[in-house]
Chain A
Amino acid sequence: DIQMTQSPSLLSASVGDRVTINCKASQNINKYLNWYQQKLGEAPKLLIYNTNNLQTGIPSRFSGSGSGTDYTLTISSLQPEDFGTYFCFQHNSWPLTFGSGTKLEIK
């Protein structure tokens, strides 16, 4: 199975900060990497698909990059509504796997 290692696991940042969350795959996933945001008691919400494509309706302050085994989610200017847990997810190989999550807290 492809292991997806996210860092950091906990992130505390202020409104307006630039925030980056990293995801490292245990092998090449050919940019089949997606990012989800999950708030307490809710289903995950798709933010970015296939490394750098912004899902419809998602603010442009969210962006993604990466290749091979290393991927990054960036929030250019953190907003209060961005708190929650962020997961990366690969759909390159079976079984499909998620990262362990990054909990983003607003200072």
Chain B
Amino acid sequence: KNQVEQSPQSLIILEGKNCTLQCNYTVSPFSNLRWYKQDTGRGPVSLTIMTFSENTKSNGRYTATLDADTKQSSLHITASQLSDSASYICVVLRSNDYKLSFGAGTTVTVRA
């Protein structure tokens, strides 16, 4: 069973609208959680990285939240743009062996 579960698998939104992506994890012991944006055929690009003590972190129109008690994270995209169309991957780092666990990603399609 994957230790990082993302939902929804995909979503389509209209340009200018907001959306929220979910990430639940069971990775332990926890070091940090990262959200990456991956355009088709490109390498992932880091959006945010959150440690145990951080609840919210923003990067432009992207806002990530973390609840380390419930092991849940979300990525909120505000006022979506066509360029936001991509796969968003949640990645959790384990602190004892520095191993990364990847979610399957959420594919976001923004339509005009």
User: Do A and B share a complex?
Assistant: no
A contact set with B: CB distance below 8 Å: none
Which positions in B face A, CB cutoff 8 Å?
none
